[in-house]
Amino acid sequence: MQVNQEFRPTIAAFCCNWCSYAGADLAGTNRLQYPADVKIIRIPCSCRLNPLFILRAFQRGADGVILCGCHPGDCHYTTGNYYARRRMTLLFSMLDYLGIERERTRVEWVSAAEGAKFAETMNEFVSTVARLGENRRLEDLRCKSE
């Protein structure tokens, strides 16, 4: 491992197809920059995000995981994000209870029109996770490349 190298976090961003993925596209269309550390995974709806996927991301080396979906009330599937909201709230609370840094997980509602919000959210989330440093409390050493 190299010393003095600036820590770059690995961020998995799950985005719902209808609002947030489109919001991310809009950020791109408007050339709004955010760090390349963010990699987006497209899911049909925020309610598709299984807590297992979040844990899997941390296991495989993610330092932060963020879920973006339509604003509550605007879900393309009417109610999906309401279920996602409860699931994520309880999961995040449980991770916090186990002593995992609560800033590593986040939910943000981003509409298809909120390209600027998407970019801002990602900038902020990346700097927060970068400040926390490498994910150590929920890592799986077997999955580390070094």
Least CB distance to another protein at residue 84 (A): 8
Encoded tokens for 32:
């709004």
Beta-carbon neighbour count of residue 35 at 10 Å? 14
Encoded tokens for 140:
């799986």
Least CB distance to another protein at residue 7 (A): 15
* Backbone angle region of 31, left / alpha / beta, with phi > 0 → left and psi within -120 to 50 → alpha: left
102 binds another protein (CB under 8 A): yes
* Pick 27 or 110: Cβ nearer another protein: 27
Q: How many residues belong to the site for another protein (CB under 8 A)?
A: 78
* Pick 119 or 129: Cβ nearer another protein: 119
* Pick 101 or 114: Cβ nearer another protein: 101
Subset of residues 115 to 134 that bind another protein, contact rule: CB under 8 A:
119
Which 3 state secondary structure label does DSSP give 43? strand
* Pick 93 or 127: Cβ nearer another protein: 93
Least CB distance to another protein at residue 14 (A): 8
x/- site string to another protein, residues 35 to 74, per CB under 8 A? -x--xxxxxxx-xxxxxxx-xxxxxxxx---------xxx
What is the DSSP secondary-structure string of 51-105?
HHHHHHHHHTT-SEEEEEEPPTT--TTSSHHHHHHHHHHHHHHHHHHTT--GGGE
Contacts of 119 (CB under 8 A, 6+ apart): 27, 32, 33, 34
* Pick 3 or 36: Cβ nearer another protein: 36
